[in-house]
Amino acid sequence: MFNAEKHEQFKDLHKVLLTEEEIVAKVMELGAKISADYAGKDLILVSVLKGGIVFLADLLRSITIPVRFDVVGASSYGASLTASSCVKITKELDLDIRNKHVLIVEDVLDTGRTLQVLMDLLKMLEPASLDICCLFDKPIGRRVKIDCKYVGFELPDEFVVGYGLDAKEQYRGLPCLGVPKREAIEKL
């Protein structure tokens, strides 16, 4: 484990919402649930680039059953700090998911627009099942109804960074989740 306080960007945080230890424990818990629920099934994890990669890597190691993974590129943020209503698909799947059990691994569920578009696209590829696992849920920002089978933490209506979440491509490597100082964001 890393010491978040020794990370250079830690000084840019106003406050820590979730420590590395809390995140690791939750990922292990989710991995155990997924392992039990999908035992004996052909499971493919599909992560959304870029933020979901950190969560995917840790979740993949916590799952104890055979599993494959793929990534898709989808964004509703672009270079902005707020979600837009336009979802852009930037990378499609490489694996064939037809008749496979697919679990979308998402870092944060905010407006729900990106996941709605992704769910609609993946359904056309005829998976045996299609569900979502999100580590961070911000229900206050929801614009469309999305059902997550697995949810790690519910977040307050604050802009957060760390553990894959970024501000203009910065802070993804922080092992904790925190609220950045306004002046740190303004200088990006």
The residues annotated with a catalytic role in the active site are: 110
Cα-Cα end-to-end distance for the chain: 28
The answer to whether 149 and 132 have CB atoms below 8 angstroms apart is: yes
Strand partners, 67: 43
Nearest to 68 by CA among 89, 91, 41, 50: 41
Sequence-distant (6+) residues with CB within 8 A of 158 are: 17, 179
